Chain A
Amino acid sequence: MNNPLNTLPTTRREFIKWGGRGIGLIAFSRFAPSFLVESTLAATPAPEKDRSILVLVQLAGGNDGLNTVIPFEDADYYRLRPTLGIKKEDALPLGDTLGLHPSMTALHALIKNGQAGIVQNVGYPNPNHSHFRSTEIWETGSSSGEFLPTGWIGRFLDNACAGIPDGKEADPVAVHVSNEMPQSFVSAQTHPTFGLNGSGGRGNPENLAFLEKLIHHEDHGANANVSFLRSTMMDALVTDKKVQRVLGGYKTEAGYPGTPFAQSLRNVAALVAAGMSTRVYFVSLGGFDTHSNQANTHQRQLQTLSDGLAAFQRDLVAKKLDSQVLTMTFSEFGRRPNENESRGTDHGTAAPLFVMGSCLQGGSLHGTSPSLKLQRNQDVTFTTDFRQVYATVLDKWFSFPTDKVLGKTYEPLTFI
């Protein structure tokens, strides 16, 4: 092999051949060699088409729900939002009383043709106003006063991915497009996850090749943690190499915008299209913490979100992958119904979230809108628990028993 980057096996067949050279499974037998990948080269088996995939889109900072889905027939809305309120004639209609923010034309079109929907007024009892804590509540799927050590996706993986025999699983089960692994992925058992971060960190090829050699090195006397670290590092290196090749070779006509967010979604589409057996992707869009002069910022944010999501969906449809993928947004909280003195909004509670995919049914609006009969600095009261949304995804999308992940059952919604 001339290219020092290519010393690791990237297909099952290569792996077996390579295993024959004495590097093989024995050293890692306690841990599934999950780097066995099977779809990037022409001769490898076709990807599994029946896998349901979830794409989580985090709107970090707390998205202003009331200016995302606008109750334009509600006088209280304009009482609470004297300068920030979006006029009825500007909103993109979603029915007689609600409209979408004017910058979200692309997503609006998807909603109109049934490929996207809105779950209204989603939150939880005893809401917490701290970004950190409320994000943790959403990501762990806990109650307000409860501290769970694992994330809801992590518990899904613990339950759904346990018992897969060694060597059968291929790709990372969950991929996050960010530097830090999201709390949602934290699990009690170890699963191959992968962080797709923009910033290099791959080191120079010479070091990498040497590192790979050291990791491949077979040592029967190695303790369990050495084996664990070797297999995790090998997974990371092999996956990284595969991912870079997939991303570099990806062709799409979907016309993704140039925003980093849209590019992240493009990368997710590329991995899905490559037939990766990954079940969950996590993409984050920051900048929703709009305490002051929010109008322009929020408009940009929502446009980034809308255009990015629409391009992603377009891409999936073109590749006939749309039936495999469900996309869902979430944010740690909505914002205070009344605007503040700086033409911004402070931390609030419940807010709408978006779902997107060709599996959707039951119309574009789910749940009920919040009542705005509120005093100054009063928050809206949620009408749909976020765990009902999770339950819907687990139950109807992953066909997985909800209580194993959420501790109990929640009444699912009807968007799937």
Chain B
Amino acid sequence: MKLDIPLQDAWQPLPAKDWNEDTARHLLRRAGWAAQPAEVDRLMKDGLTASLDRLFPAKANPFPKPRLIIGIENDTEAFAKKLRAAETPEQKKILQREQRERQQQAVQDLSIKWLQFASVPENAVAEKWVLFFSDVYVISQESVQNTAWVYAFQDTLRQLGFGPAPDLAKAVSRTPAMIRYLNLQESKIGTPNENFARELLELFLLGEGNYTEQDIKESARAFTGYREKLGVFHFAPAQHDNGPKTIFGQTGPFAGDDVIDLAFTRPAAGRFLPHEMVKFYLTDDGIPIEYLTAIGDWWRGTGYDLRQLAQHFFGSRIFFDPAFRGNYIKSPIQFYLGLVQDLHLNVAPFPRHALNALRLMGENPFRPPNVRGWVGGRMWINSGTLNSRRQLVETLFTPINEDNLNADEQVQLVAARSAGLSDFTVTNERLGTILTSMTSAQITDLFVNYFLTVRVDADFRANVLAFLSDPTAKDPLARLRSTAITLLQSPEYQLC
């Protein structure tokens, strides 16, 4: 798309005069999930520079390892032993099935725990950054199966996501999840598997058109010998091809790390990640290549430091450009966590609430459709996914019927409550306090201004006010509830 902002201004820091509550909200919604008033106040108090420093720290807050993951890790050796000791294929199959179920349960639990963690304002921005990287470096629990590896993979993104980009790429290439997902496990001298090398250059570092088939073939040789052993990276020298390779015109006995360093000597490496950021955070239309080249050149000068890139990007004039307000279709995860934050709720502790909704809306956590990840933008939207978005909003305004919970869910509910999480739905009591303290006109302004990023005109407000204050409505509380639900289901709320 064509931009109004001139190239020489685009990546300059936002002038202090333009820093206000509107720009602060834009930053919170795009870098995180939503703009809670307390967070806006905090940003205004701290100023943009200090806020960026805090939101994109040197190290993200640690995400505690869920208990089920620890259990799987502790049992890894014992399970491998049991599997070897199985006397018949039948026994082996039963063991494997049990293990699959355990992994399945673990990934659901991991998803819920992560959503809970990411919904906390203190973690939101860093965890969205992690989600961004997991849409660049894609793996899927569906194919990796081992949920402990999936946790470890995500944690690698979290631990190294604010350091130098080449370090992150090298660490990713050593994760058991990636080794399994893109077939490095089978890749050996003589018969290199090209899957990882291809995606590394095409989808992780450079983008299509910025390498040759020869570069892929030779890079694949460099990554031979990468193995996973009981969930730990292990390099097998005997499987590794240490002969000379020619990659990007350079020849040497390159190993995997060298391929990554070589890729980062290419100009395309500087453009690639900023382009992914633009599509994930700013607009799915993309921006002209000269804007990407400009930030890419600057980024290279930082040694490809990811924290500096993030702060530069989110502090720039182009990021705050008015063309990028209210134009972005929320991903299902952002839609859900945005609702949770906007409504000051807690993520309900059982899968049927959030996870079913996310799957139906098209974004099953830890299970992207394929190695390209989620395409996003308008691809999120069709009649089915919109219906699911509407249903999710209704769910968040409907009390949980505790009599209908199964035994697992009861346990999960008790555990969540004892951890201080109890507001899973918007109650009538909360709506009641709004009703008794504000006029219909005030409520209309509150809801429209607070929920919607898209600017709506006077007619829209008039429609809301007319519905809210309809004298024929029998139950004002139900009317208020309907108003909130419908605004959150509206096309406008799908955008930020």
Residues of A in contact with B (beta carbons under 8 Å apart):
130, 132-133, 136, 147, 149, 172, 176, 179-181, 183, 186, 190, 192-195, 197, 201, 203-204, 206-207, 210-211, 213-215, 217-219, 221-226, 228-230, 232-233, 235-236, 239-240, 291, 340-342
Count of A-B residue pairs with CB < 8 Å: 134
| Nearest CB on B from A415, distance (A) | 31
- What residues of A have a CB within 8 angstroms of the CB of B359 in the complex? 180
Known A-B contacts A206-B482, A211-B489, A341-B88; the reply to A239 vs B360 at CB < 8 A is no
The stretch among B18-26, B242-250, B291-299, B371-379 that forms the contact with chain A is: B371-379
- CA–CA, A166 and B459, complex, Å: 26
A239/B383 in contact, CB under 8 A: yes
Any A CB within 8 A of the CB of B467: yes
- CA–CA, A341 and B394, complex, Å: 48
- What residues of A have a CB within 8 angstroms of the CB of B386 in the complex? 229, 232-233, 236
Known A-B contacts A132-B142, A207-B486; the reply to A232 vs B329 at CB < 8 A is no
- CA–CA, A226 and B88, complex, Å: 60
| Nearest CB on B from A176, distance (A) | 7
Any A CB within 8 A of the CB of B335: no
A147/B371 in contact, CB under 8 A: yes
11 intermolecular pairs with C-beta atoms under 8 Å apart: A132-B143, A147-B371, A147-B372, A190-B378, A203-B390, A203-B489, A207-B486, A211-B490, A221-B455, A229-B491, A340-B89
Q: Mostly helix, strand, loop or mixed at chain B's interface?
A: helix
Classify chain B: how many residues form its interface, as a range.
35 or more
Any A CB within 8 A of the CB of B326: yes
Known A-B contacts A210-B482, A211-B489, A215-B491; the reply to A180 vs B360 at CB < 8 A is yes
- What residues of B have a CB within 8 angstroms of the CB of A239 in the complex? 383
A181/B372 in contact, CB under 8 A: no
A217/B459 in contact, CB under 8 A: yes
- What residues of A have a CB within 8 angstroms of the CB of B360 in the complex? 179-180
A228/B467 in contact, CB under 8 A: no
Q: Mark B464-496, 1 if CB is under 8 A from A, else 0.
A: 100100000000000000110111011110110
- CA–CA, A203 and B486, complex, Å: 10
B143/A228 in contact, CB under 8 A: no
B379/A215 in contact, CB under 8 A: no
B457/A221 in contact, CB under 8 A: yes
- What residues of B have a CB within 8 angstroms of the CB of A221 in the complex? 455, 457
A181/B457 in contact, CB under 8 A: no
- Name the contact of A203 in the complex, choosing from B329, B388, B394 (C-beta under 8 A): B394
- The 3 A-B residue pairs with the shortest CB-CB distance, nearest first, are A195-B384, A229-B491, A236-B383
- CA–CA, A228 and B381, complex, Å: 9
- CA–CA, A215 and B460, complex, Å: 10
- What residues of B have a CB within 8 angstroms of the CB of A179 in the complex? 360, 384, 388
- What residues of B have a CB within 8 angstroms of the CB of A201 in the complex? 387-388, 390-391
- Name the contact of B456 in the complex, choosing from A195, A213, A219 (C-beta under 8 A): A219
- What residues of B have a CB within 8 angstroms of the CB of A204 in the complex? 482
B495/A226 in contact, CB under 8 A: yes
- Name the contact of B383 in the complex, choosing from A192, A210, A213, A223 (C-beta under 8 A): A192
B486/A197 in contact, CB under 8 A: no
A225/B495 in contact, CB under 8 A: yes
- CA–CA, A207 and B482, complex, Å: 6
B486/A219 in contact, CB under 8 A: no
B378/A186 in contact, CB under 8 A: no
Shortest Cβ distance from B457 into A: residue: A219
B491/A230 in contact, CB under 8 A: yes
Shortest Cβ distance from A176 into B: residue: B384
Any A CB within 8 A of the CB of B382: yes
- What residues of B have a CB within 8 angstroms of the CB of A181 in the complex? 362, 382, 384-385
- CA–CA, A132 and B370, complex, Å: 10
Q: A176-B384, A190-B381, A213-B463 given; name 6 further pairs at CB < 8 Å.
A: A147-B372, A190-B382, A201-B391, A207-B486, A229-B386, A230-B491
- What residues of B have a CB within 8 angstroms of the CB of A132 in the complex? 142-143
- CA–CA, A206 and B489, complex, Å: 13
Any A CB within 8 A of the CB of B327: yes
- CA–CA, A230 and B362, complex, Å: 19
Known A-B contacts A183-B369, A207-B486, A217-B459; the reply to A225 vs B328 at CB < 8 A is yes
Any A CB within 8 A of the CB of B93: yes
- What residues of B have a CB within 8 angstroms of the CB of A136 in the complex? 369-370
- What residues of B have a CB within 8 angstroms of the CB of A195 in the complex? 382-384, 387
B495/A211 in contact, CB under 8 A: no
Q: Mark B301-312, 1 if CB is under 8 A from A, else 0.
A: 000000000000
- CA–CA, A213 and B461, complex, Å: 12
| Nearest CB on B from A41, distance (A) | 22
- Name the contact of A229 in the complex, choosing from B93, B329, B391 (C-beta under 8 A): B329
- What residues of B have a CB within 8 angstroms of the CB of A180 in the complex? 359-360, 362, 384
- What residues of B have a CB within 8 angstroms of the CB of A232 in the complex? 381-383, 386
Shortest Cβ distance from B1 into A: residue: A224
B492/A236 in contact, CB under 8 A: no
Shortest Cβ distance from B329 into A: residue: A225
A226/B382 in contact, CB under 8 A: no
Any A CB within 8 A of the CB of B90: yes
| Nearest CB on A from B64, distance (A) | 30
| Nearest CB on A from B428, distance (A) | 15
Known A-B contacts A217-B459, A229-B329; the reply to A207 vs B489 at CB < 8 A is yes
Q: Which of B367-425 contact A (CB under 8 A)?
A: 369-372, 375, 378-379, 381-388, 390-391, 394
B143/A223 in contact, CB under 8 A: no
- What residues of A have a CB within 8 angstroms of the CB of B388 in the complex? 179, 201
B379/A186 in contact, CB under 8 A: yes
Any A CB within 8 A of the CB of B95: no
| Nearest CB on B from A131, distance (A) | 9
A172/B383 in contact, CB under 8 A: yes
Any A CB within 8 A of the CB of B454: yes
- Name the contact of A130 in the complex, choosing from B143, B382, B459, B495 (C-beta under 8 A): B143
| Nearest CB on A from B493, distance (A) | 9
Question: Which of B329, B378, B486 has the most chain A CB within a 10 Å cutoff?
Answer: B486
| Nearest CB on B from A350, distance (A) | 22
Shortest Cβ distance from A136 into B: residue: B370
| Nearest CB on A from B327, distance (A) | 5
B463/A214 in contact, CB under 8 A: yes
- CA–CA, A201 and B328, complex, Å: 25
- Name the contact of A226 in the complex, choosing from B369, B464, B489, B492 (C-beta under 8 A): B492
Shortest Cβ distance from A230 into B: residue: B491
- What residues of A have a CB within 8 angstroms of the CB of B93 in the complex? 291, 340-342
- CA–CA, A190 and B378, complex, Å: 8
- CA–CA, A219 and B459, complex, Å: 9
